A and B are shown apart, each in its own frame.
Chain A
Amino acid sequence: MKILVCISHVPDTTSRINFIDNNTKFDTAGVQYIIGPYDDYALARAIELKESTGSTVHVLNVGLADTEPTLRKALAIGADEAIRINAEPTDSFFVASQIASQAKANGYDLILMGRESIDYNSGVVHSIVGELLSLPSVSPVMKLDIEGNKAKVAREIEGGKEYLEVNLPFVAGCQEPIAEWKIPNMRGIMSARTKPLKVVEPTTIDGGVKLTKFELPPPKGAVKMVSADKVEELVTLLKNEAKVL
């Protein structure tokens, strides 16, 4: 089986978010970048499938040269080959189109990624890739088992789970608990240095979405403390001040 795992290169979950240049650019100062946490689950499941079925795993990122350490980390975790599409990931349609064009060229049995990236959070790239390739897409996937040419999948829905069956190839947006995150070991890190990392120029595409500016939410006011033996006061505040009861 040939598996493609698409990863995003995103600020660590604990990052402080700030913007510069008149709120038009993300402030990267002091920000640590990681493999998107959901993408990390997808990668972990792909490596498990690689081990159990003898698959090959390609990992792909749409990003500029500074994302290569993130791709190398994915190689250290166990991916066989990396592809970097040399472009700023400006919007979902643009990113999905780049993935679809690589997938068309290489022919994968399974395309995995996270349910969403934790920077733009749209949660639509897997569905767009599916539509562009005329393949089914399923998200958010919590369980994925392959039996021959068929996948058995559990997907989280509001208030529970849905169980599905779908033939390969298809696209899945993944989340926990599909697999446990894998931490690269020394051998993985050493071998990652020599594994192929291919840089591909993007195809020109316009998704018709243009960022005009960023905005931070207004700062939160100070917390009002209520004494533990006067819970009625909290109820009064919620009713008369917040007006939420």
Chain B
Amino acid sequence: MPILVFVETAEGKIKKTSLEGVAYAHAMGGPVTAIALGDVETAELEGLGKYGASKVLHAADPKLNKGIIQVYASVLSKAMQDEQADILIISNSSLGTPVAARVAVKVGASLAANIVSLPETTSGFVVKRSIYSGKAFAHVELKNQKKVLVLRKNAADIKEVGAPVKVTPYSVSLSDADFAVTITSAELATGEVLLPEANIVVSGGRGMKGPEHWHLLEDLAKTLHAATGCSKPVSDMGWRPHHEHVGQTGIKVAPQLYIAVGISGAIQHLAGVNSSKYIVVINKDAEAPFFKAADYGIVGDAFEILPKLTEAIKKAQ
């Protein structure tokens, strides 16, 4: 029976987290059917074959160009039925997670979110999920025949395992009742690496002394193809927009590398970053609690260290 994977796009490209979803389903043993909704380039979709999809469905109805949660949930529930898929995989996002929840209700599936690794299936179907803001894990058994899995970033490694596949058009019949929410407009940062998607995050705190110094972090981020983040006080003071706030009440990130500059490391900030693979802390205060959670640390003046670090990385590239 196929595993259905919902793939999302950003600026016309398939999100990396969605590729992880395809890789996850492939690692589970597939066969993998990927489904995309709305306007996506065909070449992008064909490419999903390389990461393990043996079938790619595309519902190109223009009414699906805006990600309306109820509409997407209805389409995906129907697709699970049509494809006779018992398992739906969705990567965590502001669209994916609520859609997953609604699909689970519609199809009577067991639901688990923030899954960090492949399921254990020796007895039952058990997934490991992140809880307490990354401070612990829970192993939960999903007992229903149907299952909806919401993956956290890095739940699977993206690997090239196959060749591009042809895209199959998927026709939908949409219900007006699902269009109860109207998306009137959006404000989007363009051309930036999205924080939840980034492999490397460069974050600044109050130690940066003001928004006028942010170019130092941005230069480093650009060199590393990284996203920029910030601590809560920085977003509260309006130095940076809220969607860059990393922490317990902001974005929780799970990059390969998190570089924290001028952030003391309050426990609420750590809750947003403790799933990072490696953490570098740069702070002038050697007693900053963040050093205890770090892999590498430098004590010193960020304004001197940042330009040097950017240069050293350029040289090493």
Contact = CB atoms under 8 A, between A and B. Distances in A.
State the majority secondary structure of interface residues on A: mixed
State the majority secondary structure of interface residues on B: mixed
A92 to B, nearest CB: 7
Given A37-B249, A223-B291, A223-B295, A209 B112 contact: yes
Contact of B111 (A124, A126, A138, A161): A124
Contacts, number: 259
A207 interface: yes
A160 B189 contact: yes
Contacts of A232: 312, 315-316
A93 B105 CA distance: 8
Contact of B316 (A37, A137, A227, A245): A245
Interface in B265-317: 267-268, 271, 274, 277-278, 280-281, 291-301, 304-305, 308-309, 312-313, 315-317
Contacts of B308: 231
Nearest to A152: B184
Given A131-B102, A238-B278, A228 B141 contact: no
Interface residues of A, number: 77
A226 B296 contact: yes
A64 B111 CA distance: 24
19 contacts: A17-B132, A17-B136, A118-B248, A124-B101, A124-B113, A128-B104, A131-B102, A137-B69, A158-B93, A160-B186, A161-B186, A166-B180, A170-B180, A176-B249, A209-B110, A213-B139, A217-B134, A242-B278, A244-B199
Interface of A: 11, 13-14, 17, 19, 37-38, 91-93, 118-124, 126-128, 130-132, 134, 136-140, 142, 155-167, 170, 175-177, 207-217, 220-221, 223-228, 231-232, 234-239, 242, 244-245
